[in-house]
Amino acid sequence: MKKVTLFVVFIAVLSLALYANGVVAANQKNDIEFGAAVPVVNQSPAQPKDTSGLLVPWDSNFVLAMSPNDDSYVGPINYVFNFSLYGSIYTECWINNNGNVTFDGGYSSYTPWGFPINGSPMLAPFFGDVDTRGTGSVWYKIEANRMIVIWDAVGYFGSHTDKLNTFELIFTDGTDPTIGIGNTVAFSYGDMAWTTGDASGGAEGFGGTPATVGINKGDGALYAQIGRFDQPGTAYDGGYDNNDGVDWLDNQLFYFNTGTGGSGVLIVSPSTVDLVTASGGYPGGTEPGDPGLQGYVASYPGPGNQTITIPVGPGIWRGWAWYNSIWNQADVFPMTGPGDLVWSNVPFGAKADVPILIVNDQTLPVELSSFSAFVTASNFVGLAWITQSETNMSGYRVYRNESADFASAISLWFETSTNSSTQHNYSFTDTEVETGHTYRYWLQAVEMDGTSTLHGPVVVNVSESSVPTLPTATVLGNAYPNPFRGMTNIDLTVKEGETAMVTVYNILGQVVRSYERGQGTHSLKWDGMDQYNRPCSSGIYFYRVTSPTMNQTKKLVLVK
């Protein structure tokens, strides 16, 4: 039961507070807009449960924002870059427990409104009644050009832990390539399971006042809204119509450009290829079933001309946007990644959507699934890397430096490649190291035509007490992202003295891909291709680990 000094009486649609001593029922509380900040107490919190599915996963550089609380905030927090929200520049913010960040003061209101609202310029990856007293935590990290906030496995009011949400906010000065140069905000999601706290009319995490996902300038006019969520499931019909299902947010990623002072915010979000091609079919050079096709939709409350930016990784990329009743190629076509696919001066009508298709045409000469460094029993440094397939490769060159500067790194070794279509394990031992030093290693994959791809650095510290520590149990991690397009990662820990086999099966029980690993820690990558390098269809797959001490099966979903 929550004790307060206000008894709230509702008249029509206005909330009027009458001051009196009393007790509010356990599923009620006072919706006070500005409350006291909760400082971080001295504690050593555990690492979050699982933020690996987020765009920027949690690491040891994140700072715990607040102690367990309900409806509080921390701030002002100063960051070292200029963030533009509809043309207004901010250099400090407040992190609010209830799933949002504001720029004019702390915000402890727990019942979310649909945008726009007056006051409270806000970035809201999930504005709902978050309660971390039962479980979960809020973290943040500030870098030179961006700030990242993670709500990790948080419950809902009052202190419920049966359903948990994990989500992330990134906001930048527009120079972060992770979310695309020119984009300033990203929302990223792990597993999302609830929408509404008890005091907002919810029951068992749903119903009542829907949670809000979007951006608010605070002038009562300018805003962007992904949607309002009050139910389980994947129902979704856009940001402005019916309320939606929270499971639709699972593993989603949204990009925004808030840097202009125009009439709205551009939103770029993933979509299925089928939906993207519903209007104009497939652009020339592509066809149904092409491996690697990815779909997006750009939305703007328009009208107006906007620049669309989508960050991509290594490869040779082609991209098309559907507007003016034709498929329009990206400004650079094809574009060599990593970098951004950009469409300039794209015309938007009122609340219009622009479908987008992108594809990576490059078949990489080598598929590198692992590159690691470790201290050997002799206090040397061992390097190990695993390839799944090789084509037209010359070999691998190993570099070392004590600083993070690759330009001054020294070349240690060149290993000739096997050019095999099957998995191959490589290793190298660096005996010219000294105790008390930290080393960084790079692996350069060199093709026969002289071009190369650089991997690393991996970092290892050689100390007097360096003794290789091997796992005491075999553990199969959760695949991330899941569902996935293009590539998913599967973490695997293999017990000392054991060998484990990870096998991917389709829904019929047929073997799709297999990976064999020895003792140690590994990160497996599955690109949605079978053992004959043929693309697999969308659908449900299972991955199973088999070792002398462990047999476990998990599910993943491939979407195209």
CATH code: domain of residue 414:
2.60.40.10
Number of other CB atoms surrounding residue 220 within 10 Å = 12
One digit per residue, pLDDT tens: the chain, 560 residues?
Answer: 333 332 222 222 222 222 223 333 345 565 444 345 555 443 434 445 566 668 888 888 999 999 999 999 999 999 999 999 988 999 999 999 999 999 999 998 888 988 888 888 999 999 999 999 999 999 999 999 999 999 999 999 989 999 999 999 999 999 998 888 888 999 999 899 999 999 999 999 999 999 999 999 988 888 888 889 999 998 887 777 789 999 989 888 888 888 765 556 677 877 778 888 887 888 877 777 666 788 888 887 667 788 888 888 777 888 999 998 899 999 998 888 778 899 998 888 755 688 999 987 665 555 666 788 888 777 888 888 877 667 777 889 999 999 888 888 899 988 888 776 666 778 888 988 888 899 999 998 888 777 778 888 888 888 765 455 566 778 787 887 888 888 888 888 888 888 889 999 887 777 889 998 888 778 888 988 888 778 888 888 888 888 888 878 788 888 86
Does residue 481 lie in a domain region? yes
Does residue 51 lie in a domain region? yes
**Do residues 275 and 226 share a domain?**
no
Does residue 330 lie in a domain region? yes
**Do residues 105 and 211 share a domain?**
yes
Q: Is the C-alpha dihedral spanning 480, 486, 487, 488 positive or negative?
A: positive
**Do residues 423 and 332 share a domain?**
no
**Do residues 86 and 199 share a domain?**
yes
**Do residues 374 and 357 share a domain?**
no
Does residue 355 lie in a domain region? yes
Cα separation values, 195 from 71, 138, 192, Å: 15, 17, 8
**Do residues 240 and 306 share a domain?**
no
Cα separation of 372 and 60, whole Å? 19
Does residue 24 lie in a domain region? no
**Do residues 448 and 306 share a domain?**
no
Task: Give the three-class secondary structure for 10.
Answer: strand
Specify whether the backbone of 345 is left (phi greater than 0), alpha (psi in -120 to 50) or beta.
left
Q: Which of 459-496 are b and which e, b meaning 16 or more Cβ less than 10 Å from the residue's Cβ? A: ebebeeebeeeeeeebbbbebbbbebbbebbbebbbbe
**Do residues 181 and 274 share a domain?**
no
Which residues span the domain enclosing 391? 367-462
Which of 396, 470, 463 is closest to 427 using CA atoms? 396
Does residue 467 lie in a domain region? no
Which helix (H) or strand (E) segment is 276 a member of?
A: helix 273-276
**Do residues 185 and 288 share a domain?**
no
Does residue 217 lie in a domain region? yes
Cα separation of 137 and 71, whole Å? 13
**Do residues 117 and 148 share a domain?**
yes
Cα separation of 62 and 75, whole Å? 16
Number of domains comprising the chain: 4
**Do residues 451 and 483 share a domain?**
no
Q: What pTM did the predictor assign?
A: 0.57
Domain boundary among 462, 496, 525: 462
**Do residues 433 and 507 share a domain?**
no
Domain boundary among 361, 384, 401: 361
Does residue 31 lie in a domain region? no
Angle at 365 between CA 519 and CA 541, to 5 degrees: 55
512: domain CATH number is: 2.60.40.1930
